[in-house]
């Protein structure tokens, strides 16, 4: 899998000119091996080397782009089975379906609901990515009409689900300009579907009834010259989808080319709870695109959250914004806690302050998203930085006392911090779970 | 083109552990494959679920969580029976009142409660302390004695208090939960320390200190994946079943606690809160959790249905 840094280094010009943004050619080679730099960043590399490195360093799972413009979403480029081996690159696209058996009003109402599935998580917005239109009626005109309603009512890319090439052709006349995903090609219709996908230069779902048939079909479509593919092994039960998804990813990593594409998974359970749980499994286990029918925010919020968590880079901690956070509705006597802006640290403290049922202020100091003890060891959680936060964020105007509570793990900072900031420093417990009892025993404004 | 199925050849497996006494035992662990990949190994025991019982009436639980336990929340015995009625495989009795900030209940008093619960239900018991390490050592020592021979699961042991709890488990025939703060090295180290006291490795359950969905779930997820891979590749000090204390984390989150009026953009609370607990659990089941401690009976029910589906073979 992939090339090592040394193998790449051998082919580089070894000028150490820094034009690529890295200090040395070796550093650039290491960055490339880690997938953090591309060969095109080096202006001096020879064509011959480019070819050798390009082929060998091509990702085992192809990158496929869906839709156009701002709402475009990228899938694939994955290189590992476990997120801790490196990271998962491109979050699973979530598609919500409407059916062409619904009336135009019903479709536009549901699409409006889908458009609103946007949530704020850790200071970023996260939303669903596609509207899927199903040709459940089996009629080409109804399908085209439904696609038109969806197309007119959303900015999101579309996923067109029909195995009837005539229906697909009509739908593409309506929506082809925004590169909808065509779903899709089967053993029976793949030639015509591939021609349509090529004509509109868009992604095509290839569906087999099992892994072997999928590999066959995928090869045939590639041979026709289309390489923007999504794979569907035909599995619909959650335990079988898990097995097939695992196989497709494993084989792709072994450079089995027919499986070197992102996958699509369909949630078919009609149980309102189980369908969401199934969807969660698909997000965790390698699906590039996942299709479900519920547009209920109570169903989508946990899935969007799960996707964000699983696709977080394990090497790059998520940070919360460094500002004043109010827990409950704190007044002028409320306690003030200092912590770091590592999201996990912040949420631990926030959760424990909340469960202590004493309203308070939390000030996460910007440590580039590292934890209290790591920040302290790295010189990023210092009396100077904390003082800067206390004086710069406006907390002094919100409280009438001048007491700040610091984590017990960095008790050693208290003297210097008191001196620099002029605030009285209380040393809190080592673990935030002790905040409730600390407040009971020690806090009075 | 026939596709050759890619199967890993794992050399080892997770240890199997039995809780409770005949005929009411529960078995966990024993997996010789990654979770639910039945095509390359065995998963002899399905993930098991405990419901949590407190030894005092909980304050701050949302109404949706207290409603199914209405009338029994101040009676641990009746509460435990209710959990069994709801279909719990085990009951997890948490000695929350022993906390110095709560009632500071004495170890002897805790032991009495534990005995009463053990006598009232047939299912195996998990007994958790209040989280204050020093106090838990005293409480669990007394509980271990009172429940001698019942083959319970006691925790959580940490590097600060494992010696007392390990000794109590050895003398009175119980199993231990070894708890580490989201750190695979500390996890392994504690298991070594405990086995060095001669408690056999197949009587230890790992608690990786899971976080809830949205609150650090990915850290515990990856640690559990690495633990499972360690077990399958022959690391004996990582080959223990993993317990996920899911309920206590999930029911702290805003997403589970806020009503639809407080958070209109998040939809119905009843559905959202249950999904939060089930999806957190299902995600950890994918990473290798064997024992789940939950709070809401509906979560238990939905998680069960999900596990039923995942336990069906997907062999090729």
Cβ-defined contact of B310 to A242 (cutoff 8 Å): yes
B215/chain A closest Cα distance in angstroms: 7
Question: What does the H/E/C string look like for A224-247?
Answer: CCCCCEEEECCCCCHHHHHHHHHH
Alpha carbon distance A274, A280 (integer Å): 10
Check if A285 contacts B (Cβ < 8 Å): yes
Q: What's the number of CA atoms in the CB half-sphere (13 Å) around residue B58?
A: 26
Q: Angle, to 10 degrees, between the axis of helix B184-196 and the axis of helix B217-232?
A: 50
> Which residue in A264, A257, A255 sits closest to A208, CA to CA?
A264
Query: Which pLDDT score, from 0 to 100, does residue A282 have?
Result: 98
DSSP bridge pairs for A185: A206
Nearest chain B residue to A87, by CA: B222
User: Is B6's pLDDT higher than 90?
Assistant: yes
What is this model's ipTM?
Answer: 0.96
Which tokens in the block code for residue A201? Answer: 């230069």
Q: Which domains does chain A have, with CATH numbers?
A: 5-57 (1.10.15.40), 61-311 (3.20.20.20), 325-442 (3.40.50.11600)
Query: Which pLDDT score, from 0 to 100, does residue A1 have?
Result: 45
Where would I find the H helices in A256-327? Answer: 272-284, 297-310
Residue among A119, A251, A273 whose CB faces B278 most closely: A273
Alpha carbon distance B20, A256 (integer Å): 48
In angstroms, the Cα distances linking B130 to A50, A329, A434, B96, B188 are: 61, 29, 12, 5, 24
Which tokens in the block code for residue B24? Answer: 């009411």
Cβ-defined contact of A285 to B302 (cutoff 8 Å): no
Q: Of A128, A273, A348, which to mutate for an interface test with B (greatest number of B Cβ within 10 Å)?
A: A273
Query: Which pLDDT score, from 0 to 100, does residue A57 have?
Result: 66
> What is the bridge-based pairing of β-strands B26-29 and A336-340?
unpaired
Residue among B272, B282, B286 whose CB faces A301 most closely: B272
Residue among A83, A302, A357 whose CB faces B60 most closely: A357
* CB < 8 Å to B39, chain A: 243
pLDDT in tens, A257-295: 899 999 999 999 999 999 999 999 999 999 999 999 999
Q: Which domains does chain B have, with CATH numbers?
A: 14-310 (3.20.20.20)
Alpha carbon distance A373, A381 (integer Å): 8
> Which residue in B186, B230, B255, B54 sits closest to A309, CA to CA?
B255
pLDDT in tens, A240-263: 999 999 999 999 998 888 999 999
Secondary structure letter of residue A389 according to DSSP: H
A84/chain B closest Cα distance in angstroms: 6
User: Is B239's pLDDT higher than 70?
Assistant: yes
Q: What's the number of CA atoms in the CB half-sphere (13 Å) around residue A433?
A: 11
Query: Which pLDDT score, from 0 to 100, does residue A425 have?
Result: 95
In angstroms, the Cα distances linking A211 to A246, A252, B129 are: 11, 13, 50
Query: Which pLDDT score, from 0 to 100, does residue A134 have?
Result: 97
Secondary structure letter of residue B2 according to DSSP: P
**Is A20 known to sit in a ligand binding site?**
yes
Q: Determine which helix (DSSP H) or strand (DSSP E) holds A88, and give its type and residue range.
A: none
Secondary structure letter of residue A318 according to DSSP: -
Mention every residue, 6+ apart, whose C-beta is less than 8 A from residue A426: A403, A404, A405, A406, A442, A443
Cβ-defined contact of B1 to A215 (cutoff 8 Å): yes
Alpha carbon distance B288, B282 (integer Å): 10
- Write out chain A's pLDDT in tens, 445 residues: 467 888 888 888 899 999 888 999 999 988 888 777 878 888 888 887 877 776 666 788 999 999 999 999 999 999 999 999 999 999 999 999 999 999 999 999 999 999 999 998 766 789 999 999 999 999 999 999 999 999 999 999 999 999 999 999 999 999 999 999 999 999 999 999 999 999 999 999 999 999 999 999 999 999 999 999 999 999 999 999 999 999 999 999 988 889 999 999 999 999 999 999 999 999 999 999 999 999 999 999 999 999 999 999 988 878 888 999 999 899 999 999 999 999 888 988 988 888 788 899 999 999 998 889 889 998 999 999 999 999 999 999 999 999 999 999 999 999 999 999 999 999 999 888 889 889 988 888 7
Check if B156 contacts A (Cβ < 8 Å): no
Which tokens in the block code for residue A228? Answer: 């923007």
Mention every residue, 6+ apart, whose C-beta is less than 8 A from residue A201: A179, A228
Tell me the three state secondary structure of residue A219.
Answer: helix
Nearest chain B residue to A346, by CA: B215
pLDDT in tens, B133-188: 999 999 999 999 999 999 999 999 999 999 999 999 999 999 999 999 888 999 99
- Inter-residue contact B28 to B290 (CB < 8 Å): yes
pLDDT in tens, A65-121: 999 999 999 999 999 999 999 999 999 999 999 999 999 999 999 999 999 999 987
* CB < 8 Å to B266, chain A: 119, 297-298, 301
Cβ-defined contact of B275 to A302 (cutoff 8 Å): yes
Mention every residue, 6+ apart, whose C-beta is less than 8 A from residue B159: B186, B189, B190, B193
Q: Of A210, A260, A306, A441, which to mutate for an interface test with B (greatest number of B Cβ within 10 Å)?
A: A306
Q: Determine which helix (DSSP H) or strand (DSSP E) holds A131, and give its type and residue range.
A: strand A130-134
In DSSP notation, B108-125 reads HHHHHHHHHHHHH--S-E
In DSSP notation, A32-54 reads HHTTSS-GGG-TT--HHHHHHHH
Among left, alpha and beta (phi > 0; psi -120 to 50; other), residue B131 is left
Residue with tokens 């105007």: A397
A136/chain B closest Cα distance in angstroms: 27
Alpha carbon distance B276, A152 (integer Å): 34
Helix-strand-coil split of chain B, %, nearest 5: 45, 15, 40
């Amino acid at each position: 899998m992939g090339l090592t840094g040394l193998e790449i280094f051998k082919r580089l010009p070894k000028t150490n000119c820094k034009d690529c943004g890295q200090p040395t050619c070796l550093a650039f080679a290491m960055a490339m091996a880690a997938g953090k730099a591309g060969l095109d960043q080096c202006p001096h590399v020879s064509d011959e080397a480019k070819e050798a490195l390009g082929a060998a360093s091509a990702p085992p799972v192809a990158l496929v782009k869906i839709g156009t413009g701002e709402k475009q979403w990228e899938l694939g480029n994955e290189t590992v089975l476990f997120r801790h081996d490196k990271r998962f690159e491109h979050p699973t696209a979530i598609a919500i379906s409407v059916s062409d058996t619904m009336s135009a009003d019903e479709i536009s109402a549901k699409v409006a609901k889908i458009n609103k599935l946007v949530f704020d998580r850790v200071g970023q917005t996260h939303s669903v990515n596609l509207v899927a239109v199903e040709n459940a009626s089996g009629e080409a005109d109804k399908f085209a009409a439904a696609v038109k309603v969806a197309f007119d009512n959303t900015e999101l890319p579309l996923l067109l689900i029909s195995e009837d090439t005539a229906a697909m052709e009509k739908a593409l006349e309506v929506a082809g300009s925004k590169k909808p995903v065509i779903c899709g090609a089967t053993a029976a219709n793949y030639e015509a579907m591939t021609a349509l996908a090529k004509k509109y230069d868009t992604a095509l779902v290839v569906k087999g009834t099992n892994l072997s048939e999928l590999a066959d079909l995928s090869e045939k479509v590639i041979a026709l010259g289309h390489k923007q593919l999504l794979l569907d092994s035909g599995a619909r039960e959650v335990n079988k989808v898990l097995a097939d998804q695992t196989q497709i990813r494993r084989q792709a990593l072994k450079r089995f080319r027919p499986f070197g594409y992102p996958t699509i998974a369909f949630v078919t359970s009609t149980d309102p709870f189980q369908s969401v749980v199934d969807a969660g499994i698909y997000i965790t286990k390698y699906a590039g695109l996942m299709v479900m029918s519920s547009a209920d925010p109570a169903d989508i919020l946990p899935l969007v959250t799960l996707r964000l968590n699983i696709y977080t880079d394990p090497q790059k901690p998520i940070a919360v914004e460094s500002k004043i956070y109010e827990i409950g509705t704190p007044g002028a006597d409320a306690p003030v806690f200092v912590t770091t802006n590592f999201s996990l640290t912040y949420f631990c403290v926030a959760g424990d302050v909340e469960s202590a049922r004493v309203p308070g202020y939390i000030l996460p100091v910007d440590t580039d998203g590292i934890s209290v003890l790591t920040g302290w060891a790295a010189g990023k959680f210092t009396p100077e930085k904390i003082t800067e936060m206390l004086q710069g964020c406006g907390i002094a105007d919100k409280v009438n006392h001048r007491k700040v509570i610091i984590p017990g793990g960095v008790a050693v900072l208290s003297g210097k911090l008191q001196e620099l900031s002029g605030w009285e420093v209380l040393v809190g417990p080592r673990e935030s779970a002790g905040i409730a009892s600390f407040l009971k025993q020690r806090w009075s404004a | 083109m026939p596709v050759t199925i890619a199967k890993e050849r794992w050399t080892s497996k997770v240890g199997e552990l039995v809780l409770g006494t005949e005929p009411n035992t529960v078995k966990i662990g024993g997996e010789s494959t990654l979770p639910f990949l039945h095509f390359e190994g065995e998963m002899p025991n399905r993930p098991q679920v405990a419901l949590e019982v407190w030894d005092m009436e909980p304050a701050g639980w949302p109404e949706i969580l207290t409603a199914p336990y209405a009338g029994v929340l101040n009676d641990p015995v009746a509460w435990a029976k209710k959990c069994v009625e709801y279909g719990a495989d085990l009951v997890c009795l948490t000695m929350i009142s022993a906390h110095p900030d709560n009632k500071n209940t004495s170890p002897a008093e805790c032991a009495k409660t534990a005995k009463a619960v053990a006598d009232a239900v047939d299912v195996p018991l998990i007994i958790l302390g209040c989280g204050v390490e020093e106090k838990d050592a005293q409480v669990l020592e007394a509980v271990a004695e009172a429940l001698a021979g019942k083959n319970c699961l006691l925790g959580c042991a940490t590097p600060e208090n494992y010696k007392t709890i390990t000794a109590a488990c050895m003398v009175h025939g119980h199993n231990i939960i070894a708890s580490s703060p989201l750190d695979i090295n500390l996890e392994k180290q504690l298991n070594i320390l405990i086995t060095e006291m001669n408690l056999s490795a197949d009587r230890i359950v790992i608690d990786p200190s899971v976080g809830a969905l949205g609150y650090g779930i990915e850290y515990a997820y990856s640690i559990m994946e690495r633990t499972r891979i360690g077990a399958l590749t022959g690391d004996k000090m990582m080959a223990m079943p993993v317990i996920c204390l899911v309920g206590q984390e999930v029911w702290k989150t805003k997403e589970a606690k806020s009503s639809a009026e407080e958070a209109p953009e998040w939809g119905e609370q009843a559905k959202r809160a249950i999904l939060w607990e089930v999806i957190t659990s299902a995600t950890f089941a994918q990473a290798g959790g064997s024992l789940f401690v939950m709070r809401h009976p509906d979560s238990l029910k939905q998680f069960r249905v999900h596990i039923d589906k995942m336990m069906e073979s997907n062999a090729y």
